Structure 1
Amino acid sequence: MQTPEAQPSPLELGPWIRHAERRLAEAGVDSPRADAELLAGHVLGVSRGRVASLAVMGHSLPPDDVTRLDELLASRAARVPLQHLTGQVIFRQSLLHVGPGVFLPRPETEDVAGLAVDALLESSRRAPQHSVVAVDLCTGSGAIAAALADEVPAAVVHAVELDAEAARWAAANLERRGVALHLEDARTALPGLTGQADVVVSNPPYVPDGRIPPQAEAAQDPALALYGGGADGMQMPTAIITTAARLLRPGGFFVMEHDETQGDTVALALEHTGMFTRITGHADLAGRPRSTSARRIGSPGPEQHPVDGRMSA
């Protein structure tokens, strides 16, 4: 009588995480422990905190889970972005769907979104009878617009994206939040909102031509979302400043992310419009100048009603 073939023994979660951490560290991943735990949480369908608890308790992994985990680990070690493997990312308080074809939100952009959220809340408090309006130019995955909608529910939020592939991800993230998504060029977008926005925020393409981003994962971001045009990368940021000046009402708030080398250039571009005051640079958590804000001055544009609708394209 033939003896049945022995099945492989389940692997414990704790040893797998330690193995994955070592492999990811050898591959140059910045946060190997966190990524290992997040991959495990994705496969097990639990939070990262729960993964840590299960590992301490000696949780065993079925063979199918081990196979799936090893496949994901190999991809992450090859520097496939973690978010592409899990299909999601947490941005401030918002859970977003992401994947190939869209720029992945970065931690420094959360600071930019926070400045926009604070300004929108301030506008709402100062004029409670006024329906506050926000515009996110070059929305990409919709991360900033989602944060505005989630954290300032009373706001009317518009998001603008030119790339059709990125707009598909934005639609998945924004339609259920009631954000109006516009498939338009940010340089000419939303003529019907001239002079009506309380807040305009943007994380535009700004990387100087020819510069290779230091992170291996960034090579998988679409070039359209990275390069701002020109040796200094300022063509698109300068155009965004012009659009913001057109869209904002007097006293409206503008904030834009930029490269750490562009702070002075952005401030000069804002000054040269003659339409902004209170120009202020902001550093990221590493102390690098990564965004600039300003307030709109001057006369409002012609009175028009805000664009309605959940999505236009």
Structure 2
Amino acid sequence: MRPTAPNGSPEVVPVARESLRVQIMAAVAKLTEAGVGSPQFDAEELAAHLLGTTRTRLGLLPLVEPEWTERYRALVDRRAARVPLQHLTGEAYLGRTTVQVGPGVFIPRPETEVLLEWALQSIEDVPNPVVVDLCAGSGAIALGIAQARPDARVHAVERAAGALAWARRNAELHIDGGGTPIDLRGGDFNDQRLLTDLDGTADLVTANPPYVPDGTPVEPEVGEHDPAEAVFGGADGLDVIRPLISVCAALLKPGGFLAIEHDDTQGESVPALLSARRVLADVTDHPDLTGRPRFVTARRVTLPPR
């Protein structure tokens, strides 16, 4: 018999709330078993996403409703199936910049943050710098530079239609009172018509091209969800980087800098390609946050007349 209140109406029985900490612990165990590389972080990020808060404030919300728990478990199940965390939350981060991501665009990785920091340092003393970001993907590098340097004129180039749509969306989301923070161009950087107006004008050129050698084993998050054309770069991973170097050199003004991300197996091969160009000097390879070779930098010089 259903209990009744003193006034004769059916009594509303409160539903017991559940411990958020217990739910997160269960999620960590499930993600660990599934082989997720950062189970604690991902479990907490998913919880924070559903609660509309941050990981650092989860301790302020000790109890959750059963309905929330069902949604959380469903999200954890998808992450255990190796759907990228960023696809589940809809966001990725590069430095202080947040971009939206999903199917059809490469997810920015923390390894690229070191490249972004170096890029910003290279133009810190340059007023109103001109920057070109090639293979822009979601637009994370270009927007990161534009956000840190509002005085910069940042141009971004992306060939793939899916990634270009995400980059346009992210550029629109970063509008702050004025126009779009970056000049986004759709097309292949090898198309001379696309960038002719920028030849010899750039203080900085950045690029995170596809560079993983074909056949390299990758995590399911990459192999099943990142676009293959944004990941793999031919038998040695250099099919895109080789022509990219010539384009970078043409875009740079004398004294301008370039930074190109590469595979951790290319710490010698990519710097060698840059060193072979007479117009490029100060070729230096840099490690990422894990200490692995990750990106190469160089400076454009003026060649003396023959």
Provide the TM-score with structure 2 as the length reference.
0.89
Q: Shift of residue 272 of structure 1?
A: 2.1
How far the C-alpha of 1:179 sits from its partner, in A, is 0.5
Give CA deviations for 1:143-197 in whole Å, capped at 9, x if unaligned: 1011100111110001100001101111111232511110010223411100000
Residue identity matched to 2:50? V
Other-structure match for 2:101: 98
Task: Describe the SS at the equivalent of 1:122.
Answer: coil
Equivalent residue for 2:147?
A: 150
Q: CA deviation at 1:25?
A: 1.1
Structure 1 position 90, deviation (Å) = 2.0
> By percentage of residues, which structure has more helix?
1
Residue number among 199, 210, 214 corresponding to 2:215 in the alignment: 210
Alignment correspondent of 1:15:
22
What's 1:288 paired with?
292
**Partner of residue 88 from structure 1, selected from 76, 91, 100:** 91
In the TM superposition, 1:20-169 aligns within 5 A as 20-54=27-61, 59-124=62-127, 131-169=128-166
Higher-Rg member (1/2) = 2
Distance 2:171 2:120 in 1: 16
- Mark the runs of 5 or more structure 1 residues left unpaired by the alignment: 125-130, 300-313
Equivalence map 1:219-258=2 (5 Å): 219=223, 220-229=225-234, 231-258=235-262
Matched residue, 2:6:
none
Among all aligned residue pairs of Structure 1 and Structure 2, give the percentage whose two residues are the same amino acid. 45
Partner of 1:183: 186
TM-score by structure 1 length? 0.88
Indicate the residue corresponding to 1:200 in structure 2.
Answer: 205
Conserved 8 A contact 1:158-1:180: yes
Moved more, 187-196 or 3-12: 3-12
Query: What do the CA deviations read for 1:210-267 (whole angstroms, capped 9, x no partner)?
Result: 2122x221111000101112x2111101111111001000010001000111122112
Alpha-carbon separation, structure 2, partners of 1:6 and 1:239: 69
CA distance in 1, matches of 2:59, 2:195: 47
Count of aligned residue pairs for this structure pair? 287
SS of match in other structure, 1:277 = strand
| Aligned counterparts of 1:110 and 1:171: Cα–Cα separation in 2 | 21
Uncovered stretches (5+) of structure 2, i.e. residues with no partner = 4-9
| Aligned-pair Cα RMSD in Å | 1.7
**In structure 2, distance between residues paired with 1:6 and 1:80:** 38
